[in-house]
């Protein structure tokens, strides 16, 4: 096993800045990623830790406008259904949440990536 890297103060500071900055994307770059960047990012993402090395994610890259539209339409149907589960102030709060930026991405973002995890397992009542 290789020895751990030297996590310098500069590295730690940069990591903290990155983690605070990445919290929620509200603006999108209008330009496409350089060739190979998405593949490298997905490769790095697949190294994220997971319980028991289960890696409960699948990456889906959607480039086709027709398919992106279908994904957005599906999201809108599911979001409308979710809204019916709330009433009063909670419904108003839910309706104000910005849950998707599918149409706000400049130039209809050429590539969109979703990380999808399977539904959590059903545990016996009372836990393990």
pLDDT in tens, 3-18: 888 889 999 999 888 8
For position 123, what pLDDT does the model report? 54
Average pLDDT over residues 42-58: 79
Mean per-residue pLDDT over the chain, rounded: 76
Q: What is the pLDDT of residue 91?
A: 92
Instruction: Please write down the long-range contacts of 104-111, taking CB distance under 8 Å and 24 or more positions apart.
Output: 104/28, 105/28, 106/28, 106/29, 106/30, 107/30, 108/65, 108/68, 109/28, 110/32, 110/63, 111/32, 111/33, 111/38, 111/61, 111/62, 111/63
Confidence of residue 80 (pLDDT cuts 50, 70, 90): very high
**Res 106: pLDDT:** 39
Share of the chain above pLDDT 70, in %: 68
Q: Which of 14-23, 60-69, 84-93, 99-108 ranks highest by mean pLDDT?
A: 84-93
Q: Give the pLDDT band (50/70/90) at residue 126.
A: low
């Amino acid at each position: 096993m290789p020895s751990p890297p030297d996590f310098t103060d500069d590295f730690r500071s940069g990591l903290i800045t990155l983690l605070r900055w990445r919290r929620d994307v509200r603006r999108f770059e209008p330009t496409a990623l350089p060739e190979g960047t998405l593949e490298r990012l997905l490769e790095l993402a697949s190294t994220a830790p997971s319980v028991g090395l289960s890696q409960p994610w699948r990456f889906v890259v959607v480039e086709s406008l027709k398919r992106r539209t279908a994904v957005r339409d599906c999201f809108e149907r599911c979001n409308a259904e979710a809204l019916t589960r709330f009433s009063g102030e909670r419904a108003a709060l839910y309706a104000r949440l910005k849950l998707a930026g599918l149409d706000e991405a400049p130039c209809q973002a050429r590539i969109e990536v979703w990380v999808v995890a399977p539904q959590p397992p059903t545990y016996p009542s009372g836990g393990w």
